[in-house]
Amino acid sequence: MQDLNARDFALHFQGVTSFHQMLVDTRQSGNLWCSPISAFEILRTHVEGLHGICVDLELGGAAASLERIQELFAFLAPVPEDPRLLHMPIDRFPAFLAAFGEVGGRIQDEMKGRQLLSLTRAESQLYEANELEFGEAVADTFPDCGDDIEEAAKCRALGRYTACVFHLMRAAEGAAAVVSKRLGGETHKDDGEPLTFGGLFNQVSDKIDVMPRGAQKDAWLKLKGFMSSVNRGTRTKVAHPGITFTEQQAARLFEQARSFMEEAEELLRP
pLDDT in tens, 57-90: 889 999 999 999 999 999 988 888 888 888 888 8
Q: Which long-range contacts (CB under 8 A, 24 or more apart) does 148-157 make?
A: 148/174, 152/254, 152/257, 153/126, 153/127, 153/129, 153/254, 154/126, 154/127, 154/129, 156/126, 156/250, 156/251, 156/254, 157/119, 157/123, 157/124, 157/126, 157/127, 157/129
- C-alpha to C-alpha distance for 235 and 228, rounded to whole angstroms: 10
pTM for the predicted model, two decimal places: 0.71
User: Is pLDDT at 233 greater than 70 in this prediction?
Assistant: no
pLDDT of res. 236:
56
pLDDT of res. 172:
92
Compute the average pLDDT of residues 185-193: 87
pLDDT in tens, 1-49: 667 778 899 999 999 999 888 888 877 665 667 788 888 899 999 999 9
Average pLDDT, the chain: 88
pLDDT in tens, 122-171: 998 999 988 899 999 999 999 999 999 999 999 999 999 999 999 999 99
| Of 68 and 242, more confident | 68
pLDDT of res. 239:
65
Compute the average pLDDT of residues 197-204: 89
pLDDT of res. 261:
94
Compute the average pLDDT of residues 101-117: 87
Triad 123, 1, 4: Cα angle to 5°: 60
User: Is pLDDT at 114 greater than 90 in this prediction?
Assistant: no
pLDDT in tens, 91-100: 888 888 899 9
Q: What percent of the chain has pLDDT over 70?
A: 94
pLDDT of res. 234:
65
Compute the average pLDDT of residues 227-253: 79
